[in-house]
A and B are shown apart, each in its own frame.
Chain A
């Protein structure tokens, strides 16, 4: 029987009066009813299926080569190597850039665990620093304070798709003779002054996993290099070690056809984000991301800040307000999530530091690893306690009526500080980072 995941029915058209109705948590009708909540992603078209069939008919390395060239050209990077995953792309970017065993690499404490694991894979030492409280990317002043004679590279992450402050980081790296290696895994089509992330650093790694704004067929990644020497160093590393990091042809084929539609998908996301940001600004309780002029945010995820003082809830612990709000939003059909609850240095692989075995490569360092304690990252802890995230909910094929429904749900919850207070005081909400670390 033919399998399909096409929706059975469209989402009912939202109306403004929904925001005035009783909260779903208290027995009212949810803004988005059960059965209408699934966000299908990615969009799969006949072009994708045909492209995959073509890849099976020809040598799979041809599809990989075509994909690499098409996407490298789109990003504007000089050299590229398609890989089996984002983690392997980050690993290759670091090695190609020139990171060698024992080198320190400065990295934000708030990212996906793969960023830091890629540094360990390159046999480097992750030196975690705090994030900027506004853009949630690496804090430039904290980077400068962390530089030592062993520092070889700075590895900013364009968190959720908003580019890190690359002009300031470039200046810093030039001043201290350091490499600048991007983690662009959230930042497909994100840009500063027209230059796309992946082409801003000396090298970059990017995930193309099918959960990203720009997906290949399942798992994949790509490493970018600013010059031939770095590209050749990465190629030589693969030859010397025998590691197979190559991308499957059929996986690449899906990316070839998806790339042609990426500008359309980007436009839908920008439209949805602009609408939601404008609506959240009217609620008082919520605000969307702040995007500097000349920056393009890719909105791989959309992080929402809570402002309890705006609705008279500032006497409560902010994480309890967040917990209550999350519960109320989920009841309305909005999949508001934490996406990460603990800074990466607090995760087991960095607390244990076993690495490749017997503590290697951490044993190459004289650093005091008590610096991996969470209290050194107050901005990240505050952000984790006071924000919520939407993940796929801004992407095509998210319909107009769905993004409007999300906005209505935020209005509905923000209008009920009494219900938020009741939940926040009656329930127990532990601090996010005191729970076990989650990968996503």
Chain B
């Protein structure tokens, strides 16, 4: 137990990158971003695809909770089964073979953006998005105060890529301590 496990935005934090790598290897997607809640991950999945206030997302159906959250964001919902959905979402838990990370990954394997919810593991809210699209990942990280982009640019708000300049930002940053617990859980859950 070192300060690197507890402290956030520390150079010696190995937990967040470790969990990202673990998920990346499992989902076979190039880019993974972590969030401190599933609503944070949903917001990032939308923001990454430049879907914000006044835009529309496409789903065959959405949960009541997603509907409430998207309404608050000002994002409209187009119900369709013929167009690929904006993101696929799956939950990981302890209960049975149907709630493992493998099962979750299979459920969203065809989606361009995957939202993976680890909250049911019981360590507190924790979620991730996975994608092969670098721009989606960058914008998703940009949504976080002290996301990967801010950290890489030494916290500078300078921007060499104007299309991903920061807009509204939330602190959706996951605690390394929670990441450490989830890492151990999904190792044993595989």
Q: Which residues of B contact A244 (CB under 8 A)?
A: 37-40, 119, 125
Interface residues of A in 208-231 (CB under 8 A from B): 209-211, 215, 217-220
**Is the Cβ of B125 less than 8 Å from the Cβ of A218?**
no
Which residue of the partner chain B has the closest CB to A347? B157
Q: Which residues of A contact B67 (CB under 8 A)?
A: 242
User: Residues 95-137 of chain B: 1 if any A CB is under 8 Å from the residue's CB, otherwise 0?
Assistant: 0000000000000000000000001001111100000000000
A250 to B1, CA, bound (A): 14
**Is the Cβ of B3 less than 8 Å from the Cβ of A40?**
yes
CB < 8 Å: which of B4, B52, B64, B177 contacts A357? B52
Which residue of the partner chain A has the closest CB to B12? A5
Q: Which residues of B contact A254 (CB under 8 A)?
A: 6, 177
A200 to B169, CA, bound (A): 27
A349 to B4, CA, bound (A): 30
A301 to B1, CA, bound (A): 26
Known: A85-B173, A250-B123, A349-B168. A243 touches B72 (CB 8 A): yes
Q: Which residues of A contact B157 (CB under 8 A)?
A: 347-349, 436-439
B97 to chain A, nearest CB (A): 23
**Is the Cβ of A438 less than 8 Å from the Cβ of B156?**
yes
**Is the Cβ of A242 less than 8 Å from the Cβ of B123?**
no
Interface residues of A in 49-107 (CB under 8 A from B): 49, 52, 56, 60, 84-88
A437 to B2, CA, bound (A): 31
Binds A, one of B23-31, B84-92, B158-166: B158-166
- The answer to whether the Cβ of B78 comes within 8 Å of any Cβ in the partner chain is no
Binds B, one of A113-121, A306-314, A367-375: A113-121
Known: A85-B173, A249-B123. A360 touches B6 (CB 8 A): no
Q: Which residues of B contact A437 (CB under 8 A)?
A: 156-158
- The answer to whether the Cβ of A379 comes within 8 Å of any Cβ in the partner chain is no
A220 to B178, CA, bound (A): 12
**Is the Cβ of A41 less than 8 Å from the Cβ of B3?**
yes
Q: Which residues of A contact B169 (CB under 8 A)?
A: 113, 117, 349
- The answer to whether the Cβ of A44 comes within 8 Å of any Cβ in the partner chain is yes
**Is the Cβ of A355 less than 8 Å from the Cβ of B8?**
no
Q: Which residues of B contact A120 (CB under 8 A)?
A: 168
A249 to B178, CA, bound (A): 9
A405 to B6, CA, bound (A): 28
Known: A85-B173, A357-B53, A360-B74. A218 touches B168 (CB 8 A): no
Interface size for B (C-beta < 8 A) is 59
User: Residues 17-48 of chain B: 1 if any A CB is under 8 Å from the residue's CB, otherwise 0?
Assistant: 00000000000000000001111100000000
Which residue of the partner chain B has the closest CB to A217? B177
Which residue of the partner chain B has the closest CB to A52? B177
Q: Which residues of A contact B3 (CB under 8 A)?
A: 5, 40-42, 44
A437 to B170, CA, bound (A): 18
**Is the Cβ of A218 less than 8 Å from the Cβ of B7?**
yes
**Is the Cβ of B8 less than 8 Å from the Cβ of A243?**
no
Q: Which residues of B contact A44 (CB under 8 A)?
A: 1-3, 6
- The list of the 4 closest CB pairs from A to B, nearest first, reads A357-B52, A248-B124, A218-B175, A436-B158
Q: Other than the known A60-B122, A355-B53, what 10 A-B pairs have Cβ atoms closer than 8 Å?
A: A41-B3, A41-B7, A60-B123, A87-B145, A114-B145, A242-B69, A248-B36, A348-B159, A356-B167, A357-B51
Of the A-B pairs whose beta carbons lie under 8 Å apart in the complex, a sample of 25, sorted by A's number, is A41-B7, A44-B3, A52-B177, A56-B123, A85-B171, A86-B171, A88-B170, A210-B7, A217-B6, A218-B8, A219-B175, A220-B175, A242-B39, A242-B68, A242-B72, A243-B37, A244-B40, A248-B36, A250-B177, A348-B157, A349-B166, A356-B53, A356-B74, A357-B51, A438-B156
Residues of B at under 8 Å CB distance from A?
Answer: 1-4, 6-9, 12, 36-40, 51-55, 64-69, 71-74, 119, 122-126, 145-146, 150, 154-159, 165-178, 181
